[in-house]
């Protein structure tokens, strides 16, 4: 989707932070498919049957499997344009709070947890931290993922 | 006396090291460090008190800051209330001359770090904007440098007549002590560090082989 | 470029298959070289439903200004998790926290390392430093993990 709005500048960041940090902006559901769970663990080179054998009594999703379960909107529709494109992935923090089983249906809620800027080898960067919290169909909080999106100013 | 003058803890946004775990690691690995300085990004951590850890582990643990300027990143030792109130530590576009002047005026000691690094190093900016008066000391050995960066730092520092020191720039525990600074004087506190830095009796050292066999890092 | 098969029958010599009582602060985890072949990365992209050309096509990645097709950051995190599972199969990963600092290119030799930085006898947990390093010695990922033992 083209975004013709003018890009935010460094001077806009305090107001953007004030407006958006703490805002929950999207919710989605994700069904845990055993085929994808196995493929993920296998691709990462794991051989532990807990993660690659659906018949194992403790079969569960890989600890960072929820990292790809993002809501349709990466940022709120009204969120200011910061830098070109989607930016790059600056890191992931995953809290593994309980096992995620095949067939579970997770509800993930997206919140903007932090916004800050810093300089690095590649220039001035804005870090937007998106926090996803995941609850299973029994209401149990099973995972939290903090995703640091880096946008270039 | 050997101090690692450039470390980050979990107080920095990209730091993943707990301060006590640094102490345990130094002790367990028998690193020849007598202490380290926490240089958190874009802030001064006025609240943390590490005196109990200093006593328990027999290490000097001091606090400083790494701020960002239009000429790259700068370490500031001896941060005090006057300096914190002089400029915005969180601003990533602080003018370097202003930072140097404020540090001098408030009794602190400012020195650009990883000056051979692209974009966030002093010498890259010298090429396009010219040299800045007031720089006297730079970090010539940095544990996060990629091949060529420290070599450039050493060469250019010599050309400009700057004194050089070393720091690991560690963000995780196991990388503390990759680079450090050897002082002729004993240092027990921030005032002692400031006196030693001003006196100039110190030299950068690399401890990579001792600290860890692994290669160095690529800090952004 | 494959991870070594664990030899948990002899943890003292292999470094794999350790139990909580065998772990000490300062221990180094076995060094591994994960499989970052195009085939393996494609398998991950299929599982994650992330079919971005920057992960799967060198030319497309270079056109974006990248040095080549990149190993996805989350996949790098997965390699570290696989190392942890081989090293301590009886443990459960409670948290993994990784900072993606540099670009790691597929079909190159990456090196992953770990080191124990803390142990908690009461909680039966250990904290581990983790890195992914590229063939030129640049670190692409740093991080930490907390593992809990029964």
Mean pLDDT of chain A: 93
pLDDT digits (tens, 9 = 90+) for C104-121: 999 999 999 999 999 999
Contact C129 B28 (CB under 8 A): no
User: Does residue C143 fall inside a structural domain?
Assistant: yes
Report the distance separating Cα C142 and Cα A62, nearest Å: 20
Of the candidates B16, B24, B146, the beta carbon closest to that of C138 is on: B146
Quick one: which of A67, A29, A40 has its CA closest to A147? A67
Residue C109 lies in a domain: yes
Question: A124 vs chain B: nearest CA distance in angstroms?
Answer: 8
Chain C nearest C-alpha distance from B17 (Å): 9
Q: Is B174 part of the contact surface with chain C (CB cutoff 8 Å)?
A: yes
Q: Given C35, C93, C143, which is nearest A45 (Cβ)?
A: C35
Which structural domain range is residue A18 located in?
10-32+72-152
Option in A47, A88, A92 nearest C74 (CB): A92
- Restricting to B residues 86-145, those with a Cβ less than 8 Å away from any Cβ of C are none
Q: CA–CA separation, B150 vs B153, rounded Å? A: 5
* B139 vs B6: CA distance, rounded Å: 9
Measured between beta carbons, the chain A residues lying within 8 angstroms of B92 are: 10, 117-119, 124
Q: Where are the domains of chain B?
A: 2-211
Domain count of the fold of chain A:
1
What percent of chain C has a predicted confidence (pLDDT) above 70? 91
User: Domain range spanning residue C78?
Assistant: 20-36+70-149
ipTM of the complex model: 0.92
Tell me whether residue C25 is in a domain.
yes
Chain A: touching chains (3 or more CB pairs < 8 Å) = B, C
Query: Which pLDDT score, from 0 to 100, does residue B213 have?
Result: 43
Q: Band of the pLDDT at A88, cuts 50, 70, 90?
A: confident
Digits of tens for pLDDT over chain B (220 positions)?
999 999 999 999 999 999 999 999 999 999 999 999 999 999 999 999 999 999 999 999 999 999 999 999 999 999 999 999 999 999 999 999 999 999 999 999 999 999 999 889 999 999 999 999 999 999 999 999 988 999 999 999 999 999 999 999 999 999 999 999 999 999 999 999 999 999 999 999 999 866 554 333 333 3
- Residue A67 carries which DSSP code? G
Q: Tell me whether residue C116 is in a domain.
A: yes
- Which residue has tokens 């966030």? B120
Whether residue A10 and residue B92 make contact (CB cut-off 8 A), yes or no, is: yes
pLDDT tens for each residue of A47-87: 999 999 999 999 999 999 999 999 888 889 899 988 877 77
Residue A33 — pLDDT band, cuts 50, 70, 90? very high
Distance between CA atoms of residues B9 and B24, nearest Å: 14
pLDDT digits (tens, 9 = 90+) for A92-123: 999 999 999 999 999 999 999 999 998 887 78
Q: Is the dihedral of CA B114, B118, B119, B123 positive or negative?
A: positive
Q: pLDDT tier at C13 (50, 70, 90 boundaries)?
A: low
Of B72, B92, B219, the CB nearest to A124: B92
What CATH number is associated with residue A18? 3.10.129.10
CATH number for the domain harbouring residue C131: 3.10.129.10
Q: What is the reported pLDDT for C3?
A: 52
Per-residue pLDDT, B29: 96
- pLDDT tens digits along C22-52: 999 999 999 999 999 999 999 999 999 999 9
- pLDDT at residue A2, rounded to an integer: 61
What residues of chain A, 117 to 136, have a C-beta less than 8 Å from chain B?
117-125, 127
**What local confidence, expressed as pLDDT, does residue A119 receive?**
85
A68, C93: Cβ pair inside 8 Å?
no
pLDDT of res. A120: 81
Query: What is the topology classification, in CATH, of domain B2-211?
Result: TIM Barrel (3.20.20)
Position A153 scores a pLDDT of: 79
Cβ distance B218 to C138 less than 8 Å, yes or no, reads yes
> Which of these ranges, B61-75, B104-118, C5-19, C54-68, has the smallest mean pLDDT?
C5-19
Q: How many domains does chain C have?
A: 1
Q: Round the average pLDDT of chain C to a whole number and report it.
A: 92
Read off the pLDDT band of C9 (50, 70, 90).
Answer: very low
In a domain, C123, yes or no: yes
**Quick one: pLDDT at residue C68?**
96
Question: Which residues touch A62 (CB under 8 Å, ≥6 apart)?
Answer: A37, A40, A41, A44, A46, A51, C78, C81
Chains B and C form CB pairs within 8 A to the count of 65
- Least CB-CB distance to C100: which of A41, A44, A90? A90
- Residue B16 touches partner C, C-beta closer than 8 Å: yes
Portion of chain A with pLDDT greater than 70, in percent: 98
**Contact residues for C94 (Cβ-Cβ < 8 A; gap 6+):** A95, A96, C125, C146, C147, C148
Tell me: pLDDT of C11 over 60.
no
Q: What is the CA B73 to chain-centroid distance, rounded?
A: 10
Q: Which chain C residues have a beta carbon less than 8 Å from that of A118?
A: none
């Amino acid at each position: 989707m083209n975004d013709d709005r003018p890009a935010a500048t460094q001077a806009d960041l305090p107001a953007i932070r004030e407006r958006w940090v703490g805002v929950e902006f999207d919710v989605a559901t994700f069904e845990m498919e055993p085929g994808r769970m196995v493929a993920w663990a296998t691709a990462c080179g794991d051989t532990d049957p807990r993660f690659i054998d659906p018949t194992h009594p403790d079969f569960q999703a890989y600890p960072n499997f929820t990292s790809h379960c993002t809501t349709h909107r990466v940022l709120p529709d009204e969120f200011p344009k910061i830098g070109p494109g989607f930016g790059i992935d600056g890191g992931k923090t995953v809290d593994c709070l309980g096992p995620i089983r095949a067939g579970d249906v997770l509800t993930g809620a997206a919140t903007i947890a932090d916004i800050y800027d810093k300089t690095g080898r590649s220039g001035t960067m804005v870090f937007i931290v998106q926090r996803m919290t995941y609850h299973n169909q029994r209401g149990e909080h099973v995972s939290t993922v903090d995703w640091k999106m880096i946008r270039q100013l | 006396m050997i101090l690692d003058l450039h470390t980050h803890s979990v107080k920095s946004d990209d730091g993943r090291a707990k301060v006590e775990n640094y102490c345990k690691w130094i002790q367990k690995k028998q690193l020849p460090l007598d202490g380290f300085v926490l240089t958190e990004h874009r802030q001064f951590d006025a609240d943390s008190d590490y005196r109990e850890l200093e006593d328990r582990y027999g290490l000097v643990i001091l606090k400083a800051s790494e701020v960002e300027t239009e000429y790259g990143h700068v370490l500031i030792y001896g941060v005090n209330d006057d300096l914190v109130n002089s400029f915005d530590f969180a601003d990533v576009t602080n003018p370097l001359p202003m930072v140097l002047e404020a540090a001098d005026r408030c009794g602190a000691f400012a020195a650009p770090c990883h000056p051979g690094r692209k974009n966030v190093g002093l010498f890259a900016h010298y090429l396009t904007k010219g040299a800045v008066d007031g720089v006297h000391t730079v970090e010539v050995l940095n544990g996060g440098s990629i091949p060529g960066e420290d070599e450039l730092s050493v060469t250019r520092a010599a050309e400009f007549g700057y004194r050089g020191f070393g720091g690991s720039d560690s963000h995780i525990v196991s990388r503390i002590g990759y680079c450090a600074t050897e002082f002729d004087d004993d240092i027990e506190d921030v005032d002692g560090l400031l006196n030693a830095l001003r006196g100039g009796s110190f030299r950068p050292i690399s401890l990579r082989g001792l600290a860890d066999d692994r290669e160095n890092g690529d800090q952004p | 470029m494959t991870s070594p098969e664990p030899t948990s029958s002899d943890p003292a010599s292999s470094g794999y298959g350790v139990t909580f009582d065998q772990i000490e602060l300062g221990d180094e985890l076995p060094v591994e070289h994960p499989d970052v072949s195009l085939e393996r990365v494609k398998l991950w992209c299929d599982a994650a439903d992330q079919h971005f050309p920057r992960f799967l096509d060198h030319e497309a990645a270079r056109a974006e200004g990248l040095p080549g097709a990149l190993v996805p950051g989350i996949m790098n995190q997965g390699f570290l998790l696989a190392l942890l599972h081989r090293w301590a199969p009886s443990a459960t990963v409670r948290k993994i926290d990784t900072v993606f600092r540099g670009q790691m290119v597929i079909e190159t030799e990456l090196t992953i390392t770990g080191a124990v930085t803390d142990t908690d006898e009461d909680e039966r947990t250990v904290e581990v430093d983790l890195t992914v390093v590229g063939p030129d010695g640049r670190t692409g990922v740093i991080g930490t993990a907390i593992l809990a033992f029964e």
